């Protein structure tokens, strides 16, 4: 970058900082060339740090912008469907009006029978439309809330994916939709195997790099409507709207294989799908119980919780089984759900 392209206030500030550094170095027996090299090194490190932060901010912004576009497309699709239903209902109303007009030519008994049949014919689509409008209102409110909180702090600063706050808000909304409209959604909790060992043997900087690479891998594999969150430490939760338990297990197994092929570590996973009269914490608890079983039976596996018990989804080859259980996690106990499982 040429000096002319730097705004005047910035040029002045940079010159003052360089001058102060040179004055501080004047009292030390350091050759002039070495002093200039030292100043250049400081400038490079500052610029490199700012560039890394800028790239991380751009990556997070692109991810949120992608989700925002997906939300707007869903709202547009919902608006189109409402128009279609309202046009159909308008045709029904016009037909009902014509039938009422024709009743004047019928006898009284026949007229009442015809009126009753016409009213029943009109009532059924009206009830359906009312239900659809209520559902559409809730969906629009959900999407609007997302867009209103678009600029709020909902991103994990290290990995750039959504944070625990975004997870809690998303699960609260999806559980409410499931309770009212029986919509389906599932979650999967992923835990990086032997992450503590990585930190201890290779350092926390390497551990942070693996977490960022894991987040990018999740982003590459999920749908636009899925939400990737950092649950804490080395755990990630993927929320999958309109996905049943079988679909969640297929995705979880695909992610397990992707980690084997693209990462220097493996992951264990617990998957669960929403069931009736279940809180968000109970759902997380069932997925966490499945994750615990995956860790407790050798790691690098996917387990599911179907509401009553856990079942293994994958069995890696015998040579890849991890028999070391020194880092097995125990799920914390919390409220009990209908299946008798626990939440963390």
Residue with tokens 């009006």: 97
Helix H or strand E segment including 271? strand 267-273
b/e sequence 131-142, b meaning 16+ C-beta within 10 Å: ebeeebebbeeb
Written as six digits, the tokens of 223 are: 């749908």
Distance CA 273, CA 161 (A): 22
DSSP H or E segment with residue 24: helix 8-26
Question: Phi-psi bin for 273: left (phi > 0), alpha (psi -120 to 50), beta?
Answer: beta
CA distances, 227 to each of 12, 178, 196, 206 (Å)? 45, 17, 26, 25
Is 234 annotated in the active site? Answer: yes
Instruction: Judge contact between 257 and 193, C-beta under 8 A.
Output: no
What span, in angstroms and rounded, lies between the C-alpha atoms of 212 and 198? 14
- Assess contact for 186 and 248: CB atoms under 8 A: yes
Report how far residue 298's alpha carbon sits from residue 313's, in angstroms, rounded to the nearest whole number: 13
Contact 212, 159 (CB under 8 A): yes
Can you tell me the distance from the alpha carbon of 316 to that of 265, in angstroms, rounded to the nearest whole number? 14
> Cα(101)–Cα(87) distance, rounded to whole angstroms?
22
Query: Residues 4, 114, 120, 234: which is the catalytic one?
Result: 234
Record the tokens describing residue 36, joined without a space: 């200039």
Catalytic residue set = 234
């Amino acid at each position: 970058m040429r000096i002319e392209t730097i705004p005047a206030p910035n040029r002045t500030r940079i010159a003052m900082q360089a001058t102060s550094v040179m004055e501080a170095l004047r009292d030390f027996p350091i050759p002039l060339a070495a002093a200039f090299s030292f100043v250049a090194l400081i400038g490079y490190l500052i610029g490199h740090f700012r560039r890394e932060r800028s790239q991380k901010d751009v990556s997070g912004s692109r991810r949120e912008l992608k989700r925002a576009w997906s939300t707007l497309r869903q709202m547009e699709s919902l608006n189109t469907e409402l128009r279609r239903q309202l046009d159909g209902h308008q045709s029904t109303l016009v037909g009902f009006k014509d039938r009422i007009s024709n009743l004047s030519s019928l006898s009284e008994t026949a007229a009442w029978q015809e009126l009753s049949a016409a009213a029943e014919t009109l009532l059924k689509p009206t009830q359906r439309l009312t239900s659809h409008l209520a559902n559409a209102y809730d969906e629009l409110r959900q999407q609007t809330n997302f867009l209103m909180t678009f600029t709020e702090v909902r991103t994990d600063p290290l990995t750039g994916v959504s944070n625990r706050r975004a997870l809690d808000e998303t699960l609260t909304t999806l559980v409410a939709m499931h309770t009212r409209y029986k919509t389906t959604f599932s979650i999967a909790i992923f835990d990086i195997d032997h992450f503590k060992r990585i930190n201890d043997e290779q350092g926390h900087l390497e551990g942070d790099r693996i977490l960022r690479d894991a987040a990018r891998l999740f982003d590459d594999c999920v749908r636009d409507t899925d939400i990737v969150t950092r649950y804490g430490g080395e755990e990630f939760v993927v929320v999958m709207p309109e996905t049943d338990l079988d679909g969640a297990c297929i995705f979880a197994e695909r992610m397990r294989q992707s980690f084997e092929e693209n990462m220097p570590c493996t992951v264990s996973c617990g998957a669960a799908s929403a069931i009736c009269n279940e809180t968000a914490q109970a759902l997380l608890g069932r997925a966490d119980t499945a994750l615990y079983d995956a860790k407790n039976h050798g790691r690098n596996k996917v387990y599911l919780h179907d509401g009553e018990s856990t079942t293994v989804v994958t069995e890696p080859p015998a040579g890849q089984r991890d028999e070391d259980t020194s880092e097995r996690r125990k799920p914390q106990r919390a409220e009990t759900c209908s299946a008798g499982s626990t939440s963390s």
